[in-house]
Amino acid sequence: MYGTAENLWSRSLEDFPLTEPLEQKLRFLVGYATLAPSGHNSQPWQFGVGSDDIFVLADRIRALPVVDPQDRELAISCGAAIGTLEVAARRFGLKASVVLLPDGGNPDHLAQIAFSDGVPPDDHEIELFDAIQARRTNRTAYFMEQLPNELLSECIDVVAGSSVTLNWIEDNDAMETVAGLVAEGDQIQFDDPAFRRELGSWVRSSVLGSRDGMSGKGFGMPDILSPVGRFVIRTFDLGDSVAAADQKKILSASPALAVISSTNDDPESWVETGRALVRVLLTLTAKGLTASYLNQPIEIEALRQKLAEAVGVTGHPQILLRVGRSTDEIDPSVRRELADVIVM
C-alpha cells in the first residue's frame, strides 16, 4: 500500500482507494502532503491517521538549529504539508476542518484535521490539486517579463482571510535594496562555520539513496557529486560568490519578488504562513510560473526589520520568494516513504 518516494510524484488519481474506508483514503492523502516544500528538504513532519482524522506533529529531530533556531521555518514547512493535504482532500470531495495547536500542553501537535464528506471539487480546486505534483523549487534564471496583473492579485487573494499577507516587490529601488540585504545575509551566514556545516550536511545524493535533503543538482552540479558539494560548502566560506550570484539573480533574472508576512510571530502564525505559502506556490504553478526562496534577510534577525521597512510590510516577514517563468526542467526532489512519516 505504501508507495516509494518516486511514485508519489507521479501516482495517478486512479490509485485513490475510492471504495475503502475513510482511514485508508486519509493514508493515501498523506502522500500528497509529503510533496510539500520544506527547509533543506528536511521534511520535519509526522502524521497520525485515525478513522476520520489526521494529526500533524512537528518532527524536531529534523530541526535546523543554526539557520532556524526557533523552529520557525520548521513550523512553516509543516504548515505547507497541512495546506497541501487540504488541497488534496478537496480533490476527492472531502471537507477538511483544521484546528491549529489543539493541545496547549504539546507544542509538537501542530494540527488536528477532521475529514467529512463535502461537495465535489470545482475547477479551481482541481487546478490547484494538479499543481501539487508539478510544483518545484526552481533556482534557475527566470525570464524578465512583466507578470500578469491578474495573477499578482490572485496570489494576494489566495492568502486573504488568514493572518498572513502577501506583498509584491517589482519596483527597481526596492528590488535593489532587497538584493543588498540578501547578499548581506549570504555573507553573514557563510561566514559562520556552523551554518556551513548544517547546510552541507543536508546536501545528499538521491542516486546514492537519500530520501531527504537537497541534491547537489540544486547547486549546479551532477547529483552523484553531492558529497563533493557537501565538502565544499562545509569547508570554504563561499559567502562572496553566493552573495554576488544571488544579487545578480535578483536583479537580472527575477521579474518580481514576493514577501509573505504575518501579523504575529508565533507558532500558529508560522503554520498559517506555511498553509498560505503552499496556496501561493500552487497558484503560480497552475499558471506556469515558478518560485524559489531568498530567506536569508528573514533568517538573520538584524536584517528582518530592514527588509520589512524596505518593502513596506507592517507585520513580520516570514518568507521571501523570487517569482517568474523558466523553461528549465527541474527534477522532483526526493521524499521519505509513507511508512517513515505515518506514525500510526
Ligand X SMILES: Cc1cc2nc3c(=O)[nH]c(=O)nc-3n(C[C@H](O)[C@H](O)[C@H](O)COP(=O)(O)O)c2cc1C
Residues of the shown chain interacting with ligand X in the complex, contacts defined by CB under 6 A = 37-41, 73, 76-77, 80, 136-137, 139, 214, 292-293, 295, 333
**Nearest distance, CB of residue 344 and ligand X, angstroms:** 25
**Nearest distance, CB of residue 92 and ligand X, angstroms:** 22
Q: From CA 156, how far away is CA 93, in angstroms rounded?
A: 25
Q: What is the number of other CB atoms lying within 10 angstroms of the CB of residue 56?
A: 25
**Nearest distance, CB of residue 156 and ligand X, angstroms:** 20
SS3 335: coil
Q: From CA 130, how far away is CA 19, in angstroms rounded?
A: 22
**Nearest distance, CB of residue 124 and ligand X, angstroms:** 22
- Cβ-based nearer residue to ligand X, 25 or 230: 230
- Cβ-based nearer residue to ligand X, 177 or 333: 333
**Nearest distance, CB of residue 149 and ligand X, angstroms:** 26
C-alpha cell at 13: 488519481
- Cβ-based nearer residue to ligand X, 37 or 121: 37
Q: Which amino acid type is present at position 153?
A: S
**Which residues does residue 167 pair with via DSSP β-bridges, in sequence order?**
259
Q: What is the number of other CB atoms lying within 10 angstroms of the CB of residue 220?
A: 10
Where does residue 148 rank: exposed (0-12), middle (13-18), buried (19+ CB within 10 A)? exposed
Closest residue to ligand X: CB criterion: 37
Please check whether residue 160 is in contact with residue 263, taking contact to mean a CB–CB distance below 8 angstroms: no
**Nearest distance, CB of residue 173 and ligand X, angstroms:** 24
Q: Tell me which residue of 287, 324, 329 sits closest to 124, measured CA to CA.
A: 287
- Cβ-based nearer residue to ligand X, 38 or 247: 38
- Cβ-based nearer residue to ligand X, 6 or 20: 6
- Cβ-based nearer residue to ligand X, 115 or 165: 165
Q: What is the number of other CB atoms lying within 10 angstroms of the CB of residue 22?
A: 17
- Cβ-based nearer residue to ligand X, 41 or 177: 41
Q: How many residues does the chain have?
A: 344
Q: 73-101: b or e for each residue (b if 16 or more CB lie within 10 Å)?
A: bbbbbbbbbbbbbbbbbbbbebebebebb
- Cβ-based nearer residue to ligand X, 2 or 293: 293
Q: How far is CA 194 from the centre of its chain?
A: 23
**Nearest distance, CB of residue 13 and ligand X, angstroms:** 20
- Cβ-based nearer residue to ligand X, 76 or 225: 76
**Nearest distance, CB of residue 39 and ligand X, angstroms:** 4
**Nearest distance, CB of residue 117 and ligand X, angstroms:** 31
Q: Which amino acid type is present at position 27?
A: R
